């Protein structure tokens, strides 16, 4: 702090409330150190409230014609934002109404499990096959199961957990092979 006192000097006079409006800040810059002088002046302005007074003066000294222009611009801005909001709302309503009108897909299957992002497997108990379908309910692949299966469960991408009366099998849909099996008593829950 001693270095600031030696570099910068400012008046040590006390100001009355009447002369407070006209006060000024004087900063003496030594050794061509303008950057330090400006930061010091900014700190004094913030602490003394001069910065707030300048902002207040800028707010209150607006001509009536300028007020009308500002009010008109503000109103135009509000109308544009309201118009944009109305347009966005109508677009969203159309999008939602189009999406929700789709028919539900029906079919005969014992169990259905997603096996990929846009594929699901359906167990056909009558033929003991797994039908892999896309989201449009079109059959993409048919795979025969190695055991008579009661239900299927998700076992990772491209894999199914097939439950029979006496065992559980992990079945790979792409290779159509059994990855592992486990002999069990009748399983009720997996």
The Cα 180–Cα 187 span in angstroms is 17
Give the pLDDT mean for 154-182.
Answer: 87
The Cα 156–Cα 141 span in angstroms is 18
156 domain-assigned: yes
21 domain-assigned: yes
Q: Name the H helices within 61-183.
A: 64-100
Q: What is the pLDDT of residue 119?
A: 87
Do 116 and 179 reside in the same domain of the chain?
yes
100 domain-assigned: no
Q: Which of 44, 60, 76 is the last residue of a domain?
A: 60
Stated as kind and residue range, the H or E segment containing 41 is helix 34-48
Q: What is the number of structural domains in the chain?
A: 2
- Both tokens of residue 182? 């486990």
* Residue whose token pair is 């030696």: 6
Q: What is the pLDDT of residue 11?
A: 47
Q: Which of 60, 89, 104 is the last residue of a domain?
A: 60
Give the residue numbers spanning the domain of 171.
112-183
- Greater confidence (68 vs 159) lies with 159
Q: What is the pLDDT of residue 58?
A: 53
Q: What is the pLDDT of residue 84?
A: 77
pTM for this model (two decimals): 0.43
84 domain-assigned: no
Q: Name the H helices within the chain.
A: 2-7, 34-48, 50-60, 64-100
Three-class SS of residue 1?
coil
Q: What is the pLDDT of residue 105?
A: 63
Predicted confidence band of residue 2 (pLDDT cuts 50, 70, 90):
very low
68 domain-assigned: no
| Out of 40-44, 138-142, 158-162, least confident range | 40-44
HSE value, Cβ hemisphere, 13 Å, CA-based, for 30:
8
Predicted confidence band of residue 182 (pLDDT cuts 50, 70, 90):
confident
The Cα 70–Cα 62 span in angstroms is 10
Burial (CB < 10 A; 0-12, 13-18, 19+), residue 171, is: buried
97 domain-assigned: no
Torsion of CA 127, 130, 134, 140, to 10 degrees: -70
- Both tokens of residue 73? 């611009």
> Which residues are CB-neighbours of 126 under 8 A, at least 6 positions away?
108
18 domain-assigned: yes
HSE value, Cβ hemisphere, 13 Å, CA-based, for 58:
6
Three-class SS of residue 122?
strand
CATH number, domain of 122, equals: 2.40.10.480
- Greater confidence (3 vs 69) lies with 69
pLDDT digits (tens, 9 = 90+) for 35-94: 787 787 777 777 766 666 666 555 555 667 777 777 778 777 877 777 777 877 787 777
Q: Which of 17, 32, 60 is the last residue of a domain?
A: 60
102 domain-assigned: no
């Amino acid at each position: 702090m001693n270095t600031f006192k030696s570099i910068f000097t400012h008046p040590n006079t006390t100001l009355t409330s009447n002369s407070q409006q006209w006060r000024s800040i004087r900063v003496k810059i030594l050794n061509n150190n303008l950057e330090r002088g400006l930061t010091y002046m900014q700190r004094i302005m913030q602490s003394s409230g001069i910065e707030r007074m300048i902002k207040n003066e800028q707010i209150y000294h607006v001509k009536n014609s300028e007020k009308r222009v500002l009010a008109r611009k503000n109103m135009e801005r509000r109308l544009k934002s309201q118009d944009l909001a109305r347009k966005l709302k109508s677009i969203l309503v159309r999008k939602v109404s189009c999406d929700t009108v789709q028919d539900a897909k029906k079919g005969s299957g014992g169990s259905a499990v997603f096996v990929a992002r846009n594929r699901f497997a359906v167990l056909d108990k009558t033929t003991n096959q797994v039908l892999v379908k896309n989201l449009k309910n079109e059959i993409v692949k048919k795979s025969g199961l190695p055991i008579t299966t009661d239900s299927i469960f998700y076992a990772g991408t491209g894999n199914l957990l097939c439950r029979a009366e006496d065992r559980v099998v992990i079945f790979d849909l792409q290779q159509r092979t059994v990855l592992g099996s486990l002999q069990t008593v009748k399983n009720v829950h997996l």
